[in-house]
Amino acid sequence: MNATDAAFAAVTSAPEASAPALDDTQSRRDDRHLAIQRVGIRALRHPVRVGSVGGEAQSTVATFSMYVGLSEDVKGAHMSRFAQLLEEGLDLLTPASFLELAARMQTRLEAQSSYLEMRFPYFRRKRAPVSGAESLLDADVAFIVDAPLHAAPKFVLEVVAPVTSLCPCSKKISAYGAHNQRSHITMRAQASTDLSIDALIEIAEREASSELYGVLKRVDEKFVTERAYDNPKFVEDLVRDIAIACAAHPHIGEFVVASENFESIHNHSAYAELRGQGKLLSSKSD
């Protein structure tokens, strides 16, 4: 039993006294004999405090998707219970406590499977590479718990890290200069609760042509310009180099790495996507 399973076991074994329903349509039997994989609510915004191993807790605003599976003989889900769950007081949401929230949701909805997703902007304090000037840089992050029928719940960490990519071909064939642009690196990884958000984003930043910063002074701008020029990467290089780092990571299981480069010479994007497997095994006991 790993941490994920334990969190679910602790919570889902708790009995819950269900209030007697007056004309409770949703609990009635359904005779169409079709199970529904996901029923619930989405696009619900709620303020949260989030954190992960080694990172500072921070206040942000999350958008939730909250679903449960419905067996074929049940008419419907108790929709108001989803939003209510968020109103009961959310502690700091770390990967571990988010797993507990998912388990609580499944219990409360009297379901055998569930899917909980929370997307939020996440801020890291960075130092400009030469001047040391501090600034925040945002990334889009998601915590996901997928708890399918008859299988252990999986925690998935997703980050969309903005970086710079500089084209090796453009550099090579041009007498001077090279086109470069902002790229979005999406990393979606089955993760242990010990994987930190910052660590995942830093993999993307390390393998990019250059990282981004909120504030850069003149000396820093020189540094990142030259750093990108010294470090050209095709979209294929980006996903391969990041995949190598993910594949060697002890806290990452199955993963997908994608890069979308908003080409500065076209009005469309270059894109690559690579699926792999890290050192975290699904069956790993903690």
CB of 285 to its own copies, least distance (A): 29
CB of 222 to its own copies, least distance (A): 5
Q: Are 40 and 67 in contact (CB under 8 A)?
A: yes
Q: How many CB atoms lie within 10 A of CB 67?
A: 23
C-beta closer to its own copies: residue 132 or 283: 132
CB of 123 to its own copies, least distance (A): 6
For 102-251, strand residue ranges (E) read 114-127, 134-147, 154-166, 180-191, 210-211
Tell me the C-alpha distance between 133 and 216, whole Å.
7
C-beta closer to its own copies: residue 275 or 284: 275
Strand 210-211 to 252-261 pairing: unpaired
Helix (H) or strand (E) holding 86: helix 80-87
C-beta closer to its own copies: residue 97 or 225: 225
CB of 251 to its own copies, least distance (A): 20
CB of 207 to its own copies, least distance (A): 12
C-beta closer to its own copies: residue 28 or 284: 28
C-beta closer to its own copies: residue 7 or 70: 70
* Amino acid, single-letter form, for residue 66: M
CB of 206 to its own copies, least distance (A): 16
The full DSSP string for 62-78 is: EEEEEEEEE-TTB----
Rg, the chain, Cα only: 22
C-beta closer to its own copies: residue 11 or 256: 256
The tokens of 49 are what?
């405090």
Q: Are 275 and 255 in contact (CB under 8 A)?
A: yes
